Structure 1
Amino acid sequence: MTMLMMGALFVVFYFFMIRPQQKKAKEAKKFRESLQKGIKVVTIGGLHGKVVEVSDKTVLIEAADGVKLRFEKSAIALDSTMQLTEETAKA
């Protein structure tokens, strides 16, 4: 009976914790692979900017006129263009 309960607990953990996390990681990887010039992004540190150049592992972001910063692709959190269009749709 104890083994059955432990098995059921594992299944619950899988569907409520592990699987959604894997799905989110897969979506983030897909987003980072599809980065292209001109997209407005937000880094994990909260920096907003526009993608100027994309290489294999890094992204060059223009934060302000003449201010360009290079980040690892893994530091890009989300596409602020999509976020802005979703916010305007809600308004």
Structure 2
Amino acid sequence: MTLLLQSGDIFTNGFFMIAMLAVLVFTMIIPQRRRSKQQKTFMASLAKGQRVVTASGILGIIDKVEDNIITLNVGNKTYLQITKNAISKELTDAIYPPKAEA
């Protein structure tokens, strides 16, 4: 009788461990993958004249795109060369919201 009760506890604990793992996957891993995919798509679509914000908070307008290097105009004839992955989609969308498509 005691053996059946203990084996039931093992199955119950195993179920809760699997449930916690499922919650972890759906609340952390899947959204992170989605953000990563959006960031990669955003980096691929960068073009001259686009206003962007870097991960460190520098605002500027893209002047030139060469492979993974972007020349950013940050003021009166002041240019910075940065890598594409230094531009943040989240910060850019927060400062310069995307225009709603009608």
Q: State the SS of the aligned residue for 1:52.
A: strand
Native 8 Å contact 1:60 1:70 kept in 2: yes
What letter is aligned with 1:55?
A: E
Equivalenced residue count is 88
Larger radius of gyration: 2
Length-normalised TM-score, structure 2: 0.76
What TM-score results when the alignment is normalised by the length of structure 1? Answer: 0.85
Is 1:47 the equivalent of 2:61?
Answer: no
CA distance in 2, matches of 1:82, 1:2: 43
State the superposition RMSD in angstroms.
2.3
Unmatched runs of 5 consecutive residues or more in structure 2: 1-11
Q: Identify the structure with the greater strand proportion.
A: 1
Q: Secondary structure at the match of 1:35?
A: coil
| Aligned match of 2:8 | none
Identity %: 31
Match of 1:16 among 19, 27, 47: 27
Q: CA deviation at 1:47?
A: 0.5
* Ranges in structure 1 where 5+ consecutive residues have no aligned partner: none
Aligned partners of 2:94 and 2:56: how far apart in 1? 18
Answer yes or no: is 1:68 the counterpart of 2:44: no
Deviations 1:57-82 (A, max 9, x none): 11110001210101111100137478
